[in-house]
Amino acid sequence: MQAQEAGAASGAGAAGEELSGPDGHPEPGPLPGGSHEHGREVPLARKRSAAALAELTELDGRPMGLFRLGGGEHRGAIGPAEGETVARLVRAAADLGAPIIGLLATSGADVSHGIASLHAWGQVARALTAASGVVPVAMVVSGPCLAGPALLLGLADVVVVTGDSYAYVSGPAVVQGFTGQEVTHDELGGPAVHAVRTGVAWAEAADEDEALGVVLDYLAYLPANNNEEPPARWVTDPVDRETNVAAASVPDRATASYDVRVVVEDVVDEHSFLEVRALHAPSMVTGLATVAGLPVGVVANQPSVMAGTIDIDASRKAARFVQLCDSFNVPLLTFVDTPGFQPGKDVEWRGMIRHGAELVHAYAAATVPRVSVVLRKAYGGAYIVMDSRGLGGDISLAWPAAEIAVMGPAGAVSVLHRARLAAIDDEADRERERDLLEADYAANYCSSLVAAERGFVDDVIEPGETRRAVAAALAAFRTKRESLVTRRHANTPL
């Protein structure tokens, strides 16, 4: 599906629907029920716009605020009527404590109404900002989503894109005029771009109905609003089940690779793990799951990608997810296996300090129950960032072979004993001495038992007991209540 370039730059796109509205222009298709249970419908401003439909309804038995932006004279372009309709729906759903789902195929701001159209999508942006953290906000992009209105995707909690969608702020013609580079709609903002590179999309779906199903799957883990607890599920997976698969999947050698998702899936309830932004920043795994039937947000280093180091994208991905979970009372379960932050001049120049601080801020500010498990290694600042006790984590667990230290034995010995090793002329003797020093450092400074003795770890558990220990910790802290200081808001290191 390709929109005219004029639509990308100016918001005056081609109409893409066949239905006729009350003014003779094509109107958006009906709001979907699809294969999902669709309950009572209360339309809002039904005759106000040919390009916007809005209703309070029920999907899968839950109240929802649902709107569609698409069709109309200029293919879903936002003008004053569309802005008023969508903003009213967002405000009404927030007032009712109901999640919001938007279905978008918009060519941008409608230039036929001039600057009023810019204020129109600004009005929607303000309403969505007011709803942020109050009710979950999800967007499905099933066609173009261009210019200023594309920024609305960044305000949503959940975004799912279809195979024929594309979204960007400046279109191919503008890019070519400014940079001289020719790009297509898909290269600039296609589904793969937002699923892999930008991280805007949580997931990709084949079509709108499938995308709506994916959105509802994600929302099933979240409460309707910030005043409710996440919905519990009936599960048959025993809480005291041994996690032998997880134990066997983690190699003893600290540099060996493995897929942390195997560990996650063995610890949480069977078939409950639903990954978030799976293709974006793959050195960090985020997702929703349940433990003993209660939803949790999972954050984990991924040793199979860059050895589990934390780069800018991984930090931002995890920070955004931690903040979402904290907004909607979803406890956090963190699995740690990282050698540190990704080193490099380019990474530092791009703002590793500032973006790394986003994850620090998100965890430190979180007031939901927080449980972490150190699987194998946790070094330096990356260890602290991954919900350590020092950052305010409620329960910190570690496997017996886990190494917790400022840095690994090899690096520490190189720093602490450089002169001593340099004084040994014979290479074989020097290597033997290095091995002895590294073993001594590992035993006295890296051991999880040492960390537990010093109070940095609450308990050292056998790998096979991880599920039982995690479930017990989460149950113990289920009644935790937040205590917030009085202020307008923190100055998040965005």
230 pLDDT higher than 60? yes
32 pLDDT higher than 90? no
Tell whether 233 is covered by a domain. Answer: no
Residues 311 and 369 in one domain: yes
The last residue of one of the domains, among 219, 236, 255, is 219
In the numeric block, which tokens belong to residue 480?
Answer: 């935790």
Within the chain, how many helices (H) and strands (E) appear?
19, 16
Count the alpha carbons within 13 Å of 312 in the hemisphere toward its beta carbon. Answer: 16
Question: In angstroms, how far is CA 491 from the centroid of its own chain?
Answer: 20
Residues 71 and 199 in one domain: yes
DSSP class per residue in 176-224: HHHH-----HHHHH-HHIIIIIS---SEEESSHHHHHHHHHHHHTTS-S
Tell whether 116 is covered by a domain. Answer: yes
Of the listed ranges 38-47, 55-64, 263-272, 399-408, the least confidently predicted one is 38-47
Instruction: State the pLDDT at residue 36.
Output: 57
7 pLDDT higher than 60? no
Write the CA distances from 298 to 56, 87, 475, integer angstroms: 31, 32, 16
Question: In angstroms, how far is CA 190 from the centroid of its own chain?
Answer: 19
Instruction: State the pLDDT at residue 255.
Output: 86
Average pLDDT (118-144) is 96
| Total residues belonging to the chain | 494
Total count of domains within the chain:
2
State the residue range of the domain holding 345. Answer: 244-399+461-476
DSSP class per residue in 298-364: EEEE-TTTGGG-B-HHHHHHHHHHHHHHHHTT--EEEEEEE--BPP-HHHHHTTHHHHHHHHHHHHH
- pLDDT 10s digits, 147-184: 988 999 999 999 999 999 999 999 999 999 999 999 99
Query: CATH number of the domain that 68 lies in?
Result: 3.90.226.10
Average pLDDT (95-102) is 98
Residues 205 and 105 in one domain: yes
What gap in Å lies between CA 180 and CA 433, rounded to an integer? 59
Find the farthest-apart pair of alpha carbons in the chain and give their distance in angstroms, rounded. 91
Q: Identify the band that residue 11 occupies on the pLDDT scale cut at 50, 70 and 90.
A: very low
What gap in Å lies between CA 118 and CA 171, rounded to an integer? 17
Residues 207 and 96 in one domain: yes
How buried is residue 444: exposed, middle or buried, by Cβ count under 10 Å (0-12/13-18/19+)? exposed
Q: Which of 27-31, 35-39, 186-190, 441-445 has the highest mean pLDDT?
A: 186-190
The last residue of one of the domains, among 172, 203, 219, is 219
113 pLDDT higher than 50? yes
What gap in Å lies between CA 459 and CA 462, rounded to an integer? 10
Average pLDDT (108-129) is 92
Residues 24 and 93 in one domain: yes
Tell whether 416 is covered by a domain. Answer: no
Instruction: State the pLDDT at residue 20.
Output: 34
Residues 55 and 202 in one domain: yes
Instruction: State the pLDDT at residue 29.
Output: 58
Mean pLDDT of the chain: 89
Residues 178 and 321 in one domain: no
pTM of the model: 0.89
What gap in Å lies between CA 212 and CA 102, rounded to an integer? 10
Residues 13 and 84 in one domain: yes
Residues 328 and 282 in one domain: yes
Average pLDDT (30-58) is 78
Residues 215 and 168 in one domain: yes
Tell whether 452 is covered by a domain. Answer: no
Residues 255 and 360 in one domain: yes
Tell whether 407 is covered by a domain. Answer: no
Handedness of CA 127, 120, 88, 16 (dihedral sign): negative
- pLDDT 10s digits, 305-324: 999 999 999 999 999 999 99
Q: Which residues of 35-69 are buried (b: 16+ CB within 10 A; e: fewer)?
A: eeebeeeeebbeebbbbbbbbbbbbeebbbbbbbb
Tell whether 275 is covered by a domain. Answer: yes
Tell whether 16 is covered by a domain. Answer: yes
Tell whether 192 is covered by a domain. Answer: yes
Q: Identify the band that residue 269 occupies on the pLDDT scale cut at 50, 70 and 90.
A: very high
Q: Identify the band that residue 112 occupies on the pLDDT scale cut at 50, 70 and 90.
A: confident
Instruction: State the pLDDT at residue 37.
Output: 59
Residues 251 and 394 in one domain: yes
How buried is residue 13: exposed, middle or buried, by Cβ count under 10 Å (0-12/13-18/19+)? buried
What gap in Å lies between CA 149 and CA 118, rounded to an integer? 9
- pLDDT 10s digits, 341-362: 999 999 999 999 999 999 999 9
What gap in Å lies between CA 369 and CA 392, rounded to an integer? 10
442: left (phi over 0), alpha (psi -120 to 50) or beta: alpha
